[in-house]
Amino acid sequence: MKETGESRLTKNKTVILLLIILLTLLWFVGEILISYHWMKVNRYPVTVRNLPYTDTVTDAGFKMVVLSDLHDHEFGKDNEQLIRCVKEQDPEMIILDGDMLNEDSKSDEVPVRLVKGLAEIAPVYYALGNHELDYIGTAEGKKMQKHPENSELVKDLTDAGACVLEEGYRDVEIGGCKVRIGGMYEYAFALDGDNSAENLTGDVRDFLEEFQNTDRYKIMLCHRPDSFVFGDASDYWKIDLVISGHDHGGQVVIPFKGGLYGGDQGWFPPYVHGLYRTGRIRLFVTSGLSSEKQMLPRWNNRPEIAVLKVHGSDGESSKKMDRKTEN
């Protein structure tokens, strides 16, 4: 039977359609693989007016690497690729901002081994995320979850070389600067319907009031950006820089639109990746390194190693900030 021109055209259209579908599927799958395995380094200059110096030097400043939301993932054996990449940044401080394991992890080996490797590079400060707290609750009970400083997980991380900060802080001198670095998980406001920071009570309020009572540069590690972006918390508390993760950059990053979903912030959240100004606080949110099992995988969202370079200003506006990305 002789093939007609119309049937050939129909066949060609079908082949083209199938090729388009195949290429689209390959693109989607490729972006998922990239989003879990191909790390990138993002650099964020943080310019600070009147940065407290330990002496009269004019070029004081310091560099810190921020990692978050590893979720038991490994980049090479024992995370050797991740450790090597962090070392190449030559940081003076390393921040692990929570969810480095999963609630249902069989052990804490992955974050503990990572801390051991990173502690050979620079001081490591570790803030607990919801998965660390749930892991403690599952392994050691709800009572220990409320007092995680006494948990086996915190002991293991401390023994590995991390300074674990949960409603606690340290005063340090780094890069010629006087710094107070603290950590907390809870909200910085009262759950009173108005999200009022003034109405916050209890241990969290006591900690925040003590933490802000210094002339040092104040850095707060707080796994959830939600803890400071709701209500008037960012106007009420005198904190210079809050460092967060948690939302995985929105998990799915839609081209030209941004992250799809961000916890308490809901759909198309405003604070999921980058450096922001909210109230009197500078807020940095990393998109993190991986994710736990979710309905949607990370997509168009490469694992991030964030490098924050804090340096003083001569009085010019700190709003002019550039962001550089390295492959």
Same domain, yes or no: 2 and 90: no
Lowest-pLDDT choice from 33-37, 99-103, 121-125, 178-182: 33-37
Residues 3, 66: one domain? Answer: no
| Per-residue pLDDT tens digits for 233-255 | 999 999 999 999 999 999 999 99
Specify the amino acid at residue 42: N
pLDDT tens profile 174-223 = 989 999 999 999 999 999 989 999 999 999 999 999 999 999 999 999 99
Of 39 and 14, which is predicted with more confidence? Answer: 39
Same domain, residue pair 250 and 181 = yes
pLDDT at residue number 19: 84
Residues 56-71: tens digit of each pLDDT: 665 679 999 999 999 9
Bridge partners, residue 107, by sequence: none
If you average pLDDT over every residue of the chain, what do you get? 90
pLDDT at 318: 35
Question: Across residues 41-61, what is the average pLDDT?
Answer: 83
Residue 9 shares a structural domain with residue 140: no
How many domains does the chain fold into?
A: 2
The reply to whether 143 and 33 lie within a common domain is no
Average pLDDT of the residues in 155-181: 96
Backbone angles phi, psi at 14, to 5 degrees: -65, -45
Contact assessment for residue 123 and residue 165, using Cβ atoms and an 8 Å cutoff: no
Domain check: are 236 and 200 in the same one?
Answer: yes
Q: Is the pLDDT of residue 306 over 90?
A: yes
Q: What is the pLDDT of residue 326?
A: 45
Residues 153 and 250 reside in one and the same domain = yes
- pLDDT value of position 20: 84
Q: Are 96 and 125 in contact (CB under 8 A)?
A: yes
Q: Are residues 98 and 135 in the same domain?
A: yes
Domain shared by 25 and 131, yes or no: no
Give pLDDT, residue 114. Answer: 98
Assess whether 3 and 83 both reside in one domain. Answer: no
Nearest to 252 by CA among 240, 261, 243, 244: 261
The whole-number pLDDT of residue 8 equals 67
Looking at residue 315, its pLDDT comes to 45
pLDDT of residue 322: 39
pLDDT of residue 258: 92
Quick one: pLDDT at residue 3? 59
The phi, psi pair for 219, rounded to 5°, reads -115, 125
> Which of 7-21, 45-59, 156-170 is predicted most confidently?
156-170
- Pair 174, 104 in one domain: yes
Could you tell me if 146 and 1 lie in one domain?
Answer: no
First to last CA, the chain: 56
Range of 17's domain? 1-37
pLDDT tens digits for range 72-110: 999 999 999 999 999 999 999 999 999 999 999 999 999
Q: What is the CATH number of the domain that holds 71?
A: 3.60.21.10
